[in-house]
């Protein structure tokens, strides 16, 4: 495990080193690295931003938006996935609507959010919710449908009712698939919340990144991008760790890291 972590660290250091080399030497190949700030310039700008209250306020705003929208999407998405997988009535009533709305990119709902909600904050949370809701719903639906019917029949023969089957068999068996949907959902949520902040936000990492671009503060743009990457990595990692705790009863996979 230590070797794998070292390899991953070396991979990141190699990427940063290559970035510094290409930008410092003003390399122009198929793309123009001479227009990008160097890794050292970005690091210096990052250090300056860390010392400002504005940076931490933006961080807090973005995390609150992600947390609120994603938790709502997790709760309602899992519920909708289980309903459409277990109930024909729910599949007939909700299924067509979900399939029609699902292909619409969440960021395309920004004008709708502006018209629906009186405040930008509510609209951004709605965009974040919409981004995560559909991956969670689809993953849950497929995971529930994949549960072998024999498992349910075994519980029913021992006198288990519908709710006992649901909570003792279906949900535990579908949990790995649900966790996969949550992992995808949190990543898509970050993409959309940053885009929404750029379009209609007043605070947040996305808003500040776009503001830096408008004043040609390119190191500031990369500071925003690095912050987004770190936040996305940390939140995705948190979801994966939670998933491992919830599915700890599963046998470990070959070569998996615990």
* Domain extent listing, the chain: 1-35, 37-246
* Of 220, 216, 219, the residue nearest 206 (C-alpha): 220
pLDDT of 252 reads: 58
**CATH code of the domain made up of 37-246:** 1.10.3720.10
Q: What is the pLDDT of residue 67?
A: 92
Query: What integer pLDDT is reported at residue 55 of this predicted model?
Result: 92
Return all residues near 144 (Cβ < 8 A) that are at least 6 apart: 81, 82, 85, 86, 170, 174, 177
Residue 249 has what pLDDT? 64
Residues of the chain with pLDDT under 50: 254, 258
What pLDDT is attached to residue 256?
52
This prediction has a pTM of 0.83
pLDDT tens digit sequence for 128-168: 999 999 999 999 999 998 888 877 777 777 766 777 777 77
């Amino acid at each position: 495990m230590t070797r794998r972590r070292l390899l991953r660290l070396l991979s990141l250091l190699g990427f940063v080193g290559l970035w510094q080399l290409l930008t410092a030497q003003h390399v122009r190949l198929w793309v123009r690295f001479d227009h990008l700030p160097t890794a050292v310039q970005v690091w210096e700008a990052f250090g300056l931003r860390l010392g400002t209250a504005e940076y931490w306020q933006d961080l807090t705003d973005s995390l609150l938006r992600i947390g609120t929208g994603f938790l709502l999407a997790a709760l309602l998405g899992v519920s909708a996935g289980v309903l459409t997988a277990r109930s024909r009535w729910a599949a007939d009533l909700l299924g067509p609507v979900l399939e029609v709305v699902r292909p619409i990119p969440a960021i395309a709902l920004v004008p709708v959010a502006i018209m629906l909600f009186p405040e930008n904050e509510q609209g951004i949370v709605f965009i974040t919710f919409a981004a995560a809701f559909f991956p969670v719903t689809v993953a849950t639906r497929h995971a529930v449908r994949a549960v072998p019917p024999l498992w349910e029949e075994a519980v029913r023969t021992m006198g288990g009712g519908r709710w006992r089957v649901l909570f003792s068999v279906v949900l535990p068996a579908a949990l790995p698939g649900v966790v996969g949907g949550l992992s995808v959902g949190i990543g898509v949520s970050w993409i959309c919340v940053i885009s929404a902040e750029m379009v209609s936000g007043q605070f947040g990492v996305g808003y500040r990144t776009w503001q830096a671009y408008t004043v040609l503060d390119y190191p500031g743009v990369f500071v925003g991008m690095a912050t987004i990457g770190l936040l996305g990595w940390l939140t995705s990692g948190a979801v994966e760790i939670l998933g491992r705790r919830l599915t700890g009863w599963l046998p470990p996979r070959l070569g998996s890291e615990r």
